[in-house]
Amino acid sequence: MKLKAAILSLVLCVTSSVVIASGDDLVVIIKDYKFIPQEITIKKGQTLTWENREKRQYHSVWFEALGEPEPEDYLFPEDTYERKFSETGSFPYRCGPHPEMTGVIHVTE
């Protein structure tokens, strides 16, 4: 599974910032104060995983626009966070400690 995630992250790094993803291993890499890819389109019912690949820095995945409170648990290096998307729409998010880090998840049927 780690090899699949590594290959996916390599592919995502060399393509555009908007990615249409399919399959079971959907990963957003957190590295260099960025969400990679910054914008991704997935299917309704899929689960997305964020993986912190920083060497020392912590981050969060905060869906502030949905009215959710800022997460109390930060993602430290090598930590992951998963979220299943059961509704269609566009879901912007950001890193709580680093508001310049933003991303958008587009969920389609």
pTM: 0.78
Mean pLDDT of all residues in 86-93? 97
Domain count, the chain: 1
**How much of the chain exceeds pLDDT 70, in percent?**
77
Confidence class for position 7, pLDDT limits 50, 70, 90: very low
Nearest CA-CA partner of 17 in 106, 108, 109 = 106
Polymer length of the chain: 109
Q: Are 44 and 87 in contact (CB under 8 A)?
A: yes
- Rounded CA separation 92/15 (Å): 21
Q: How confident is the model at residue 22 (pLDDT cuts 50, 70, 90)?
A: low
Residue 79: which CATH number?
2.60.40.420
54 is in which domain, residue-wise? 2-108
Which residues are CB-contacts of 67 (< 8 A; sequence separation ≥ 6)? none
Nearest-angstrom CA–CA distance, 73 and 61:
10
What is the pLDDT, as a whole number, of residue 87? 96
Average pLDDT (52-62) is 97
